[in-house]
Every structure is written in structure tokens, then in C-alpha cells.
């Protein structure tokens, strides 16, 4: 049995849930060039993140706790590589990996499925 490893499970910062539609990246940051971090695709991601925040709040979790906890419920996934750009993010990452109950996990899956469908129709 091989195990899986999730790299950048917080979508390079997006799943901290603090970004707004007019987010700009510093010079040299490759996210500025990636299609998921600009334009309509970025706006659609932020809509999904608002839905995810509501799910997390209903479970008394932060968005990163929900995201990593949900990933760790994936059969075969053994670890997630997470990182922080500042002390506040580091503190937020200190309590990750708790398993997520079935109902919020199903709600999160539904949000992700709608997002994937919508993104498939975008360039």
C-alpha cells in the first residue's frame, strides 16, 4: 500500500479564507499568472470559499481546519504539506487534522463538485 501526500492543500493561501476579489500579489509571485488566481475563475473560487466558511462556522472550525480535516478523511492520504507566510497563519495551522463529521464533509463535497462543474466551463 502506497500512501498519498497532499501538496499545497490550502491552494497556496486561498483556503485561509481571507482574500477578497481585488486581491493583488507582489511582484514575482507566480499566483498572479495562474488562471485560478485572477478574473472570473478567482471570483468563482471566492464564492465557493464563502460557502465553505459557512460550513466551517457551523462546525466551530476555521476554514483551514475544515479543509485539512476533510483531506485527512480521504482514504489513502497519509499527510498534507501546509505552510505559513506569517505568524498568524502559523498559529492558525497549529490545530489541523481533526476528522470531519459526515454531514459537513458531504456539504463540502457538494460545494467542491459545483465549483468543479463551473470551472470546467471557464477558461
* Residue range(s) defining the domain that contains residue 62: 47-123
What is the residue-wise DSSP string for 56-116? HHHTT--HHHHHHHHHHTSTTEEEEE---SSHHHHHHGGG--PPPPHHHHHHHHHHHHHHH
pTM for this model (two decimals) = 0.89
pLDDT at 103: 97
Mean pLDDT, rounded, for 67-92: 88
Q: For 62, how many CA atoms within 13 A lie in the half-sphere containing its CB?
A: 17
Residue 13 belongs to some domain of the structure: no
For 48, other C-beta atoms within 10 Å of its C-beta total 19
Counting residues of the chain whose pLDDT is more than 70, the rounded percentage is: 100
pLDDT at 41: 96
Residue 32 belongs to some domain of the structure: no
Residue 97 belongs to some domain of the structure: yes
Residue 37 belongs to some domain of the structure: no
Reply yes or no on whether the pLDDT at 97 is more than 80. Answer: no
pLDDT at 84: 83
Residue 39 belongs to some domain of the structure: no
Q: What is the domain count for the chain?
A: 1
Residue 71 belongs to some domain of the structure: yes
Residue 36 belongs to some domain of the structure: no
Residue 31 belongs to some domain of the structure: no
pLDDT at 42: 97
For 4, other C-beta atoms within 10 Å of its C-beta total 13
Of the pLDDT bands very low, low, confident and very high (cuts 50, 70, 90), residue 53 is very high
Give the pLDDT confidence of 19-46 residue by residue, as tens digits: 999 999 999 999 999 999 999 999 999 9
SS3 29: coil
Amino acid at each position: 500500500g502506497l500512501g498519498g501526500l497532499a501538496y499545497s492543500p490550502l491552494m497556496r493561501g486561498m483556503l485561509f479564507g481571507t482574500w477578497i476579489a481585488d486581491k493583488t500579489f507582489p511582484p514575482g509571485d507566480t499566483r498572479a499568472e495562474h488562471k485560478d488566481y485572477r478574473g472570473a475563475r478567482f471570483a468563482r473560487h471566492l464564492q465557493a470559499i464563502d460557502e465553505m466558511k459557512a460550513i466551517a462556522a457551523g462546525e466551530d472550525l476555521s476554514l483551514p481546519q475544515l479543509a485539512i480535516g476533510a483531506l485527512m478523511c480521504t482514504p489513502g492520504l497519509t499527510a498534507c504539506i501546509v505552510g505559513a507566510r506569517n505568524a498568524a497563519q502559523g498559529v492558525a495551522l497549529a490545530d489541523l487534522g481533526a476528522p470531519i463529521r459526515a454531514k459537513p464533509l458531504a456539504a463540502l463535497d457538494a460545494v467542491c463538485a459545483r465549483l468543479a462543474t463551473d470551472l470546467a466551463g471557464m477558461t
